[in-house]
A and B are shown apart, each in its own frame.
Chain A
């Protein structure tokens, strides 16, 4: 009798303790959000949050050889709410899946969010505090509405989040957008109290394009950077890892453009103080190759000082780009996004003790000198 009782109690315990778990969500009941878009509603008071997630059911069908059929490969849903978090909760009244943000690849801010300081700070804080979001997310700003980008379907890749991630993967083919992810952006926002550069995204008809960047000053959009300025900024901050610079060369008759394909960049920096003025020097050593010139001039590459001319012109071109970025940041916006303060703080701490307190005032007075030396390493298969 006693033994039977023991067995019964054990059975009940096993049934209670070992069965299932509270938090079980079947994988097909989850919506793996790949991209999030954040806009403001027309009254600028509430958020419009868009979640894009692939159709998991269709993906599994595709791999098992069913061919997918006519089902949608990806969904995007928008929700209007007072906060970002409540949007992710309220949306469950409209979709039959539980949102899971752990695999999110990209978060797109609409222009109106970035222009509104309070709202933008709130959004940033909600990202910082999130338990689910990975720190490898890519943040992007669009001059359009983020909703417009995410609600569209692109032929190239219907899963917009994965599309954006893949574009970031081959960052070293161009230097058109800064390759910075959430980790670096939030680090910059923390360290400079609200300044950061965020890559820009725009949607075309059938594709998206990531190029240029938005300047955030004091948690607010301060302007956009075009290709040249953006690359200049990347030169100065050491982000350039590849891409090309085109230079003008005398061709047959009129001038032609020659691309200089960057393969390696070495950046050295130095700070000096002379007569109360801070001189910041950046030395760039650029290596690369020439991939096209003009058919008629075959044979000239090996001769004379053609390569020297190309090298000199490339250096000038790069210098011009950096000058554009310096003008923008130092003269126009008066905000140190070039990492000069950071550099002085780390490598010249005694100077920083003097100037650190009112760096914002001193920064526009700093003399920035850029020296560029370029080297052509390869010329392609013809002389």
Chain B
């Protein structure tokens, strides 16, 4: 059922996870986390990373019990077929929403910073077609694309911020842990949303060659994402202080405005960063795009996912244009992460785990392999 050339290695999984998780979230994460926990954003991200790691491993454990089946099939065994179909449809919808939100935010940012008179529709549709072109070829090219883009994303972003090191005031991270625990957990929850994307582990397992190394690669993906987020938040809060950070829409982009490159002729690095950021968001978009169509093809039991890739584009496109303004975009994003993400990241895996233990399912499959 699964073509041989469409399998990826555990290392590729790690990179695919990283590039999927790092997307539009990095723009606003420091502001969101500062709003809840004040100067302790770094610790909240650490906490959020650990929570995400726990759930990612839980999802991995669940899917490893059914090594040849994807989400649609094994949930059918666990929570009866009809419920499984409903949840799968919601999952398709969920991934589609992420594509639309990401591509809309991408369009907004690009329009503001680089292409003020290009219509946003053009930006969005170009991005979606590019993604569709890649997604049609399946998982292996996607993973390879992520492998290529990963160093292009990480290395310049890490280096670009270094000139601002002198502006960092470490006292901005004080006082240490003076927020109420309720607020701190809320902050952790907020950061967990930035790790959204590891739900693809529900579906990924049957496509992996060396499944024995998978635990390690999930660990390294989530920990490196966490470190990357912490790195950016360290610079943002270190320079602006949490009181100003929480007022900003995209502190990540405001931070870029504060970079004073030692070489005079590249005074404004916004252009460079926009280029890199296009890749980060592109990696998230194609990954969600692929998994949305994959779930759909499993649901309808078609041989190939690629039938759905192009028909999905107009749907994603029109969904991306539903919100009126950037304010409503973030309002909808808030709803999605508050209700749907919590369900897919936390509630569903716990539920499935309990049912798995009660029904004692899946063990047989493991003996077979």
Contacts and interface: CB of A to CB of B under 8 A. Distances in A.
Given A136-B260, A191-B241, A349 B175 contact: yes
Nearest to B247: A190
Given A134-B268, A183-B258, A346-B174, A23 B114 contact: yes
Given A22-B118, A103-B268, A134-B257, A345 B175 contact: yes
A165 to B, nearest CB: 11
B85 to A, nearest CB: 40
B117 A102 contact: no
A347 B244 CA distance: 19
Contacts, number: 55
A347 B267 CA distance: 36
Contacts of A103: 267-268
A347 B174 CA distance: 7
B115 A346 contact: no
Nearest to A339: B171
Nearest to A134: B257
Contact of A346 (B175, B240, B258): B175
A347 B260 contact: no
A131 interface: yes
Given A23-B114, A135-B254, A136-B260, A349 B240 contact: no
Contacts of B260: 136
Interface string A37-80: 00000000000000000000000000000000000000000000
A102 B257 CA distance: 9
Interface string A102-128: 110000000000000000000000000
Interface string B251-289: 000100110100000011010000000000000000000
Interface in A340-383: 345-347, 349, 352
Contacts of A349: 174-175, 178
Interface in A1-46: 21-23
A345 B247 CA distance: 20
B152 interface: no
A49 to B, nearest CB: 20
A187 interface: yes
Given A191-B241, A347-B174, A183 B167 contact: yes
Contacts of A22: 115, 117-118
Contacts of A131: 112-113
Given A22-B115, A23-B115, A131-B113, A186 B244 contact: yes
Nearest to A102: B268
B16 interface: no
A346 B39 CA distance: 9
B243 interface: yes
Contacts of A133: 257
B247 to A, nearest CB: 6
A191 B175 CA distance: 15
Interface string A283-319: 0000000000000000000000000000000000000
B258 A136 contact: yes
Q: Among the interface residues B112, B114, B244, B257, which one has the most CB atoms of the partner chain A within 10 A?
A: B257
Contacts of B257: 133-136
Nearest to B246: A190
Contact of B117 (A23, A136, A190, A352): A23
A183 B239 contact: yes
A347 B175 CA distance: 6
A135 B258 contact: yes
A348 to B, nearest CB: 8
A346 B169 CA distance: 12
Contacts of B171: 346-347
Given A134-B268, A136-B260, A349-B175, A187 B241 contact: yes
Contacts of A136: 257-258, 260
Interface in A185-219: 186-187, 190-191
Contacts of A345: 175
A56 to B, nearest CB: 14
A222 B260 CA distance: 32
A252 to B, nearest CB: 46
B311 interface: no
A136 B269 CA distance: 13
Interface string A156-174: 0000000000000000000
A251 to B, nearest CB: 42
Residue among A22, A103, A186, A347 with the highest chain B CB neighbour number at 10 A: A22
B231 to A, nearest CB: 19
B38 to A, nearest CB: 10
A331 to B, nearest CB: 27
B160 to A, nearest CB: 15
Nearest to B248: A128
Interface string B98-136: 000000000000001111111000000000000000000
Nearest to B171: A346
Contacts of B270: 102
Contacts of A352: 175
A349 B39 CA distance: 12
17 contacts: A21-B118, A22-B115, A22-B118, A23-B114, A23-B115, A102-B268, A103-B268, A131-B113, A133-B257, A134-B268, A183-B167, A183-B240, A187-B243, A191-B244, A346-B174, A347-B174, A349-B178
Q: Which 7 A-B pairs have the closest CB atoms?
A: A349-B175, A346-B174, A135-B258, A135-B257, A190-B244, A22-B118, A349-B178
Interface of A: 21-23, 102-103, 131, 133-136, 183, 186-187, 190-191, 345-347, 349, 352
